[in-house]
Structure 1
Amino acid sequence: MMAALTWNTGRGLVVLGQGLSTIQHAGHLPVLTLFTKKMCPLCDEAKEELKPYKKRLILEEVYIDRVENSSWYGKYKNDIPVFHLNGQFLMKHHIDKRLLEKSLEKLENPPEGNSNHSSIRQGPTS
């Protein structure tokens, strides 16, 4: 099972299916997925660093040490924390604030004629 945190943004999160199979959310906020596990001090630090972004994204935590997330465990067991933005790999090991900021700005200000705010994502492919 995964945990979804919305930091009381007032925007709902609907999870359909199991694991990361399909996710949609209201308000079109981007979803930053944090791949983590129990007892991960680096992940705890990363969550603290993300607090200033709470109105700009939805933070979703996926615990790779849970049975239903075993495919992610095989992929990321030595790399957490790992971050995906709207289903695409973004960074690992630590928060790169410049990269996160640039990526969020790109999503918040799409080029003219391209207002793709889709947040439907697919889970791991093996």
Structure 2
Amino acid sequence: MAFSTLILLMGVCLLIAPVSAFGAGDVPNDSNLDGHVWRHGDIANLLLKLPISFVTNYAFTKLELKQVYFGNWLRDYSQLIDTKPLSFLPEPVLRLLLSRLEIFTKVDLTLPD
């Protein structure tokens, strides 16, 4: 039974077509999607150009932009994760998991073309 399940799983894996995954960074400037789709990095770049207050002309700081970016990132992950199994983990472990996941989204681990 286990061998046939393994063969079936391998067959299904061979039939799966490659897909493009969502990236949370910026849309490349030379992409034909630039200006039509927005990612979290694009939102942060837009906030750089907008003042928080038109009266004082105070702009967002780099730290505030990182906080907005991280908040958007957390919101996306919170929509994917079922929180019931995570409720049994202690808070320090959850913080460690989130920090590791966040590092993986900011560091490009792919090889250059």
**Shared topology, TM-score over 0.5?**
no
Q: Tell me which interval the TM-score lies in, with the shorter structure as reference length.
A: under 0.3
Greater C-alpha radius of gyration:
2
More strand by share: 1
Return the TM-score normalized by structure 1. Answer: 0.22
Q: Which has the higher contact order (CA 8 A, sep 6+)?
A: 1
More helix by share: 2
Return the TM-score normalized by structure 2. Answer: 0.23
